Structure 1
């Protein structure tokens, strides 16, 4: 069996837990961005060649969340919960949480990145980035 691969290569590393995200820092203004932007810096307008890939620790705070009960796609089965996460390093992103429903979730909870396996259409294993509530 082949080694597992990232479901979304270029967005996160799969060789350690918790997986770091792959963002970009602008050499011109220092802004840290996630996801990577192939066009340039959204902060100062610097060209794409001024952006340097940087690992971002996958730790942050849950700022909002919603459970999806109906989903037409085949990539994930409903119900699932999506959260808005403010990373400790600064960027804000939306990501799928490891919990299927919002039971027990609260704004302000600490979360961390986590890899979740799923099978690809060709039978291989893919690792998806999710966020889990940090247990205290």
Structure 2
């Protein structure tokens, strides 16, 4: 059995612009066009509209790296958010990514060491195994585009 760690934030299915990469679940204000992540119903950050003005949309799993940093010491109290998930071990790299569809996010970067990452570099989403038990648990990460 395979499950997503945070299915409310991303989906296995990609978008038309990045069909081979998982999509992120975001939203768009139909009044002013503002695109946001994560999805929320509180009101548009730009114009304040809420309710039916906020529509759910799938954001493509591709973007541009703005900055990155490697974490060498992780909080000793950090625990997985779900049973059966391996704790995140240092070192790991965090990236700030401007998604092609608009929002800027912070996420874990995989398949690269920090010195090889450069601002302006293209990155894509991918699902990685984070489970430690019998169940396969996948979480969303970003990696350098090839």
Q: Same fold (TM over 0.5)?
A: yes
Q: Which residue of the partner structure matches residue 112 of structure 1? A: 124
The 8 Å contact of residues 28 and 34 in structure 2, kept in 1 or not, is answered as yes
Q: Which residue of the partner structure matches residue 76 of structure 1? A: 88
SS of residue in 2 equivalent to 1:103 = helix
Q: 1:25 aligns with which of 23, 28, 34?
A: 28
Q: Kindly indicate whether residue 113 of structure 2 is the aligned counterpart of residue 130 of structure 1.
A: no
- Alignment partners' CA distance in 1, 2:113 and 2:90: 9
- Alignment partners' CA distance in 2, 1:126 and 1:15: 16
The 8 Å contact of residues 115 and 128 in structure 1, kept in 2 or not, is answered as yes
Query: How much does 1:24 deviate?
Result: 0.3
Q: Kindly indicate whether residue 88 of structure 2 is the aligned counterpart of residue 90 of structure 1.
A: no
- Alignment partners' CA distance in 1, 2:13 and 2:102: 23
The 8 Å contact of residues 25 and 54 in structure 1, kept in 2 or not, is answered as yes
Structure 2 unpaired stretches of 5+: 15-19, 80-86
After TM superposition, the score normalised by the length of structure 2 is 0.83
After TM superposition, the score normalised by the length of structure 1 is 0.88
CA RMSD of aligned residues (A): 1.6
Cα deviation code 1:43-84 (max 9, x no counterpart): 110114321110111111000000001112243111000000
Q: How does 1:33-72 map to 2 (within 5 A)?
A: 33-72=36-75
User: Number of paired residues?
Assistant: 132
